[in-house]
A = this chain, B = another copy of it.
Amino acid sequence: MVTYGRVRMEDVARQAGVSVATVSKVVNGRYGVSATTTARVADVISELGYEASLGARSLRSTRTGILGVLVAEFEPFSTELLKGVSGAMADTDYELMAFAGATHGETVGWERRSLRRLGGTLLDGAIVVTPTVIEPGAAVPVVAIDPHTGSSDVPTVDSDNVGGARSAVEHLIGLGHTRIGMIRGREDLESARLREQGFRQAMAAAGLEVDETLLATGSYRSESAVAPALLLLDRRDRPTAVFAANDLMAIRTVEVARTLGLQVPADLSVVGFDNIPESALAQPALTTVAQPLREMGRCALDLLLSLLAGEELAQPHVRLDTRLVERASTGPPAPGRL
């Protein structure tokens, strides 16, 4: 007969006829409890279905065995990373908790808040995805994925943003585009800065001048692409191609183009960045720069585990390669508009 509801250690203790201290020792496998008592307590524990409250336990003991992935919200980018971390977690002693910190519209500082609320007590370590502020010295080891601009001693994982962006724009140029716009990403993120840099490098290498009025800024969020896309596309001398700093904005740009009566890729080519699974589902399927998102998650976990093991990191900044994935959202510019 299993009893449900909140079962406390005290309930187990009473039923087993021992003190809570003894139950605690059994639960945590400490020495100094007779085999008989251990067995009896274990029996009561499974009979009552007891599990120690994480909140209470975390308050008292330093180690909780839980690692956190701190994200602003659960969207395609962060969940891909999460899949990577989760998959790599199986080989470890840790468990995984993911926390969405920007649910109330905080666009900045959510990860600091999350880190302070969870770090030190609930979490033994954390992976922070696209942090908004530089946070030197948290209460627990931290690794950042797609970090904030500016130097910091936090170990990071990212991908070759410059090279990736360059390959995207080179692809457009190779198709014959010369009038190319860009929708930039969240200004505080290193990745956004680097993707713009790659864009400029590719243009320069091809001897093309960048029309600064063809650059607009979003925040990586889907809705944030609407205004910039309209800005770029709702004008007579619109570009024949747009490089959006991430897939979510690229997909939204295609939708905006459609509302403007533009066909993609006939009237407008669009390239994204990330290769979230949704990019393949988009209509038309999105040409994009693939980041190895799951591998980035795995990598971040490896770094964190090293940190937790007290090891010196050989490579505190890991950068992974990107790869252009050509799908259906890009093509040669319309002859008349070349």
A interface residues with partner B (beta carbon < 8 Å): 4-7, 49-56, 58-59, 73-76, 79, 82-83, 85-87, 89-90, 92, 94-101, 103-105, 112-113, 116-122, 135-139, 276-278, 280-281
Given contacts A99-B97, A277-B278, contact A83 B76 (CB under 8 A): yes
Residue in B55, B98, B280 whose CB lies within 8 Å of A277: B280
Minimum C-beta distance from A298 to chain B (A): 13
Minimum C-beta distance from A166 to chain B (A): 24
**Complex-state Cα separation, A280 to B275, whole angstroms:** 13
Residue contact A137 to B4, C-beta cutoff 8 Å: yes
A74, A135, A280 — most chain B CB neighbours (10 Å): A74
Closest to A275 in B: B281
**Complex-state Cα separation, A51 to B119, whole angstroms:** 10
Residue contact A97 to B94, C-beta cutoff 8 Å: no
| Chain B neighbourhood of A74, CB < 8 A | 79, 82-83, 85-86, 96, 98
29 contacts between A and B (CB under 8 A): A4-B136, A5-B139, A6-B120, A49-B112, A51-B117, A53-B116, A54-B55, A54-B118, A54-B121, A55-B56, A55-B58, A55-B121, A56-B59, A74-B79, A74-B83, A75-B83, A76-B277, A79-B79, A86-B103, A89-B100, A90-B103, A90-B104, A95-B99, A96-B99, A97-B97, A98-B99, A277-B277, A277-B280, A280-B281
| Chain B neighbourhood of A97, CB < 8 A | 97-100
Closest to A93 in B: B104
Q: Which 7 A-B pairs have the closest CB atoms?
A: A277-B277, A74-B86, A51-B116, A55-B121, A79-B79, A55-B58, A4-B137
Minimum C-beta distance from A181 to chain B (A): 27
Minimum C-beta distance from A129 to chain B (A): 13
**Complex-state Cα separation, A10 to B99, whole angstroms:** 26
| Chain B neighbourhood of A58, CB < 8 A | 55
| Chain B neighbourhood of A90, CB < 8 A | 73, 103-105
| Chain B neighbourhood of A86, CB < 8 A | 73-75, 100, 103
| Chain B neighbourhood of A136, CB < 8 A | 4
Minimum C-beta distance from A290 to chain B (A): 11
Residue contact B76 to A117, C-beta cutoff 8 Å: no
Minimum C-beta distance from A66 to chain B (A): 9
| Chain B neighbourhood of A104, CB < 8 A | 90, 95
Residue in B50, B56, B118, B280 whose CB lies within 8 Å of A280: B280
Minimum C-beta distance from A67 to chain B (A): 10
A59, A92, A276 — most chain B CB neighbours (10 Å): A59
| Chain B neighbourhood of A281, CB < 8 A | 277, 280
**Complex-state Cα separation, A319 to B187, whole angstroms:** 42
| Chain B neighbourhood of A51, CB < 8 A | 113, 116-117
Residue contact A103 to B113, C-beta cutoff 8 Å: no
**Complex-state Cα separation, A45 to B5, whole angstroms:** 37
Minimum C-beta distance from A79 to chain B (A): 4
**Complex-state Cα separation, A73 to B95, whole angstroms:** 10
Closest to A121 in B: B55
| Chain B neighbourhood of A92, CB < 8 A | 103
Given contacts A4-B136, A280-B281, contact A103 B99 (CB under 8 A): no
